[in-house]
Structure formats: C-alpha cells, structure tokens
Structure 1
Amino acid sequence: MTANEDQEMELEALRSIYEGDDCFKELSSVSFQFRIGDVDDTKSFLLEVSWPENYPDTAPHISLDTFFNNKISPETKQYIISKMSEQVEANLGAAMMYTLFEWAKENQETLMENHQPVTTAVTLISNSDVMNNSSSVSKKKKEKKEQLTKSQKRKLIGRTDNKGELPRGWNWIDVIKHVSNLYLRYNIQWPQ
C-alpha cells in the first residue's frame, strides 16, 4: 500500500472510532487535535498532530503550541513531546494515531506529574495609568442601577415575550384616549 492509502484507511478508522467524542477534532484530513483530560482539569492538555506526506513511514509532527496549553510550562511540554516521540519511534511504519492518543490518556498522570501551572505575565504600567483606572473604577461604582419595586417588576415581566423582550409598542399611548383628554382639558368641541 502507498502512504496515501494508509492515511486514508487510518483517517476512516479515526473518524469511526472518535465519532461524537468531543476530545477528538479533525482540523483537516492530515491534521488532528486530541484533548487529554477534562476541559476544567488543570492537568489536561491538547495534542496537535499532523501527518507529513510519507506518514506512517515518516513520524508525524506533534505540537503542544495551542492556546489551550498556555498554562503548561515549556519544560513539561518538552517532556510530553519527548515521551510521545518515543512512542512514535516504537510504532513507526504502522497506523499509530489511536495508539498515541490512548497511550497519552493512560499516562496523563505520569506526563503531567511535574506540572506547575504557569502564571500569567506581568506587565509594567505607569502611575498615571493606575490613577486613571482607579478614578474610572470609582465612577463606575457610584452609578447605581435603578431599584424597582415588586409591583414594578411584576408589570415588567408581564409585558415581556418569551425572549424577555418588550413587545413592539408596549409604551405607546392610546391615541384616542389622549386626544379625548386634550378635548376635555381645553373644553374643545368635537368636530361635527
């Protein structure tokens, strides 16, 4: 079989295995992402794997440079990639994506054992920026939201539709009632 036929067969197998799995994402026919761990887990990471033209005879390119992995230190990323590369070397020449993904899932704790979440970078700002920001914060705190009574809230809820929006013309006045009040107020006779 040629490399392209092997790739097509493996792609078809991956699609059927991971159909409906939110951990697997096919970026293109030769590029994939696989999340190891739950989204809210601090020790989860996202593998991005792309196939070169001669895959599976040539090793796939494995990357951890996605935004999802921005809290992982460069040392931990390098350790994960080196361990994944060992698995690639052991499976070279055969379809290995499923094997790599499952190995990473099984060894997540080992791969992330030295993981210390990276703190975000600190930016230097001037004192004038601090003063401007603090004055704008104090202005925001002074603005209070209008407080409604219970009866006002009930009336407001009674007027809204299923989307929480007021219907068109909810605050329009009754034209006839308004005109008749004007006639009464100013003692004007109705036209004949």
Structure 2
Amino acid sequence: MAVCDLREEEAQVLKSIFSEDELTISGDYKLEYKVGEHGTISSFVIQIQWPTGYPNVMPYISMDCFYNQHVPQDVKEKIVAELVSVAEDQLGSALTYILVEYIKENHERFVKWFSIEKVDKSQPDSISNEASVGIS
C-alpha cells in the first residue's frame, strides 16, 4: 500500500473513533487533539503532523499553539519529549491512536506539571520576603 494511502486510511480510522471536538485532521495531515474540558486550565492541544513517509518517518509533534498559552514552555517540552519517545517505540506502524491514548491516560499527570509550575512561579522567593520584612 502506498504511503499516502496509509495516511489516508489512518485518518479515516481516527475520524471514526474521535469526535471533531476532540480530534481535527486537515487535508495536509495535520492533526490537533484537544484533551480536557474546553476553556479550563486542564485543557490543552497536541499537534501532530504526518510527513511524507509516515508511518516509517517520525511524525512532527508540537504544543506550540495559542490555545496552550497557559502551559509553561518547559512543560510543553517535557510532554512532547515523552510523546516522541512513545512514537519512536511504535515507528513503522500507525501510531497516532497510541499517542492519543497515552495523552488521555497521562492527562492528569501532565496537568499537575503545569499547575505546579504556575504555583512555583507565583510563590515569592523566601529571600525576597525576608528582604521586605520591616521595610515601611
């Protein structure tokens, strides 16, 4: 089967499994999977693009989109690195469903990463607190 046919076949299978609210697939094999309740801090989007040669070539995986502006960059990088690792283990097979399931299974853990990151960044340093004590 031709590579283009494999991508088209996988796209059709994914469309039959997921609603358009969860997964969108454009004509150039760019996918966006939205996890979490829309409009909440726990919601984010994973972007996957199937290059020519997919599934024998690694898909491009990203979280760099406006929707994810509430997720710290280092957390995005950690999530993408995990997904790349999962994808590398599945290279040569239709792996997008596996990635989506991995995202769903690990969603709460990922959200904790950026929730903790936000709390840590909002906490003033103890040195700063000590320096301001007694100054009026």
TM range (shorter): 0.7 to 0.9
- Superposed displacement of residue 34, structure 1: 0.5
State the partner residue of 1:33. Answer: 32
Once residues 13 and 23 of structure 1 are traced to their aligned partners in structure 2, the CA distance between those partners, rounded to angstroms, is 14
Residue 20 of structure 2 is aligned to residue 7 of structure 1: no
Q: Which residue of 1 aligns with 2:53?
A: 54
Equivalent position of 1:76 in the other structure: 75
Q: Percent identity?
A: 29
Residue ranges of structure 1 left out of the alignment (5+ in a row)? 120-192
1:17 aligned residue: 17
Structure with greater helix share of residues: 2
Using the TM superposition, give the Cα deviation of residue 113 of structure 1 relative to its aligned residue in structure 2, in angstroms: 2.2
Structure 2: state its 5+ residue gaps.
122-136
Q: TM-score, normalised by structure 1?
A: 0.57
Q: Please tell me the residue identity of whatever aligns with 2:58.
A: A
Find the counterpart in structure 1 of residue 95 from structure 2.
Answer: 96
TM (normalized to structure 2)? 0.79
- Secondary structure in 1 matching 2:83: helix
Of structures 1 and 2, the one with the larger relative CO (CA 8 A, separation 6+) is 2
Larger radius of gyration: 1
Alignment of 1:1-192 (within 5 A): 1-18=1-18, 20-115=19-114, 116-117=117-118
